[in-house]
Amino acid sequence: MVIKKVGIIGCGLMGSGIAEITARAGYDVLVTEVNDELLKKGIARIEASTQKAVDKGKSSAEDRAATLARIKGSTKLEDVRSCELVVEAVIEKMEEKKRVFGILDCVCPPEAILASNTSSLSITEIAGSTRRPEMVLGLHFFSPVPVMRLLEVVRTIMVKDEVVEAGVAYGKAVGKETVVCKDAPGFIVNQLYLPYTLVAIRQWERGLATKEDIDKAMSLGLNYPMGPFTLMDFVGLDIHYNACMAIYEETKDPAYFPPPVLKKMIQAGHLGRKTGRGFYDYSGK
């Protein structure tokens, strides 16, 4: 399967990052958003990220210009009909993803590959909203997309082997190390990572140590780049909570059920770095 043009649905934090690395790898990119304001914000994020790469000497001004020239924006979902691969990166809600895939199934040619960037939702259920489940797979990038090296390629029991192979090839082309896993709640990383963070919250609440010392212990003791509280703030507590609940609702495994304090923090608007406050206060930074 030859992929020349890639559609990205959603130009938020994840979608803009996927668009950036895809264009940088030489693909033509069409990224869509629901309105002009969000589209402009997403494109501006790509422009800032690519400029940062130039400033750090990781890219040239010429390469940046070529990357940006390959990216086109649209507020019409149907404009991705000319793409061989479409990657969905919308809000982590099953009904919204199924709605988007239902539209993509109608506007994209039968041979187009449809992929979801979901971090924890069922690819099988998403694929079931189309008439081409054999052409649907998961491509789970990690945030921030231009920096993180991993791509989880998720296969269902319906997907064709050549579609998975195309997903792996695309991942390698955009500079990622790939792993292939079956469609199971949370895939590889989140099945292991989410319970670890929830244990950290519970131990902090029980008074084992301060959150600062728990973060320091995990960073220095296990050589993790960030401790659990710093990382949850970076990801966003709302995103983190939704991922935990998505796995819990499917498995009923109590290891994935978030402590009440996490929901209370979200209700208070303390979502992490993006709102200036989460487990830590970022208002002065």
Residue-wise pLDDT for 114-151, tens only, equals 999 999 899 999 999 999 999 999 999 998 999 999 99
Answer whether 0.75 is exceeded by the pTM. yes
pLDDT in tens, 55-95: 999 999 999 999 999 999 999 999 999 999 999 999 988 99
Same domain, 202 and 113: no
Instruction: From 182, 211, 228, give the residue that closes a domain.
Output: 182
Q: Residue 285: what pLDDT?
A: 67
- Give the strand pairing for 150-155 and 136-141: antiparallel
β-sheet with 150-155: strand ranges across: 71-74, 28-32, 5-9, 85-88, 113-116, 136-141, 150-155, 177-182
Tell me the catalytic residues: 119, 140, 152, 190
Same domain, 172 and 210: no
Same domain, 169 and 126: yes
Instruction: From 165, 182, 199, give the residue that closes a domain.
Output: 182
CATH of the domain at 207: 1.10.1040.10
- Number of independent structural domains in the chain: 2
Q: How many CB atoms lie within 10 A of CB 284?
A: 5
Angstrom distance (rounded) from CA 109 to CA 106? 8
The torsion angles phi and psi of 7, rounded to 5 degrees, stand at -95, 140
Same domain, 76 and 108: yes
Same domain, 150 and 171: yes
Same domain, 211 and 130: no
The H or E element containing residue 192 is: helix 189-205
* Residue 233 domain boundaries: 189-275
Ranges of residues in the chain with a pLDDT under 50 are none
Q: How many CA atoms lie within 13 A of 6 on its CB side?
A: 32
The H or E element containing residue 242 is: helix 237-251
Q: Residue 86: what pLDDT?
A: 98
CATH of the domain at 175: 3.40.50.720
Same domain, 259 and 162: no
Same domain, 155 and 247: no
Same domain, 152 and 26: yes
